[in-house]
Amino acid sequence: MLDFKQSYFELFGLPEKFDIDFTKLNEKFRELQAKYHPDRFVNGSDNERLVAVQTTGLINEANETLKSSRLRARYLLTLKGVDFDDEIDTTSDGAFLMHQMEIREALEEVSNEQDPLARIDDIAQEISGEADALKDDFVEQLELGNLDAAKEAVLKMKFFERLCQESKSITEKLEDELF
């Protein structure tokens, strides 16, 4: 039986840090899914089937959390006692928010460009570079014990996660229109 109190890192046999071995994560995920999947307990008692469903739910949630840079960073902070309130937590960095608006405007104008695919590619690279810089900042702040600054980096990561999704969506739309 799985220990529901262990951390997601312990569950997958990974060190509790931001940079993780995705190959090991995937291997351990498949191993745990095979061992605890509800289909293995179809002839078990009601309690065994319930526990199997809860266990695979935990395994899936842990896997999704560790696969996502932002969710993994957030989880590391929660392990250190940092609370998040999705209803009210956001960055108050005015310059950052203004920059987000500029990127969004650039995304909205892509279709008007001479070469929209080249432009969206440039914007996507900019977004990716800035997201990587935020991850580096998070790791640095976490290692220094600056939990407030690390939380701020996580809050900013959410904006870049959305921008990445938007740029992918625009790219797909452009490709569908052009090809």
Helix (H) or strand (E) holding 174: helix 147-178
Query: How far is it, in rounded angstroms, from Cα 20 to Cα 90?
Result: 26
pLDDT by 10s per residue, the chain, length 179: 788 899 999 999 999 999 999 999 999 999 999 999 888 888 888 888 888 999 999 999 999 999 999 999 999 999 999 999 988 999 999 999 999 999 999 999 999 999 999 999 999 999 999 999 999 999 999 999 999 999 999 999 999 999 999 999 999 999 988 77
Within 8 A by CB and 6+ apart from 153, the residues are 73, 134, 135, 137, 138, 141
For residue 68, the Cα-to-chain-centroid distance in whole angstroms is: 3
> Taking the domain 8-67, which CATH number applies?
1.10.287.110
Segments of the chain assigned to CATH 1.10.287.110: 8-67
> Taking the domain 94-178, which CATH number applies?
1.20.1280.20
Segments of the chain assigned to CATH 1.20.1280.20: 94-178
Q: Tell me if the pTM is above 0.85.
A: yes
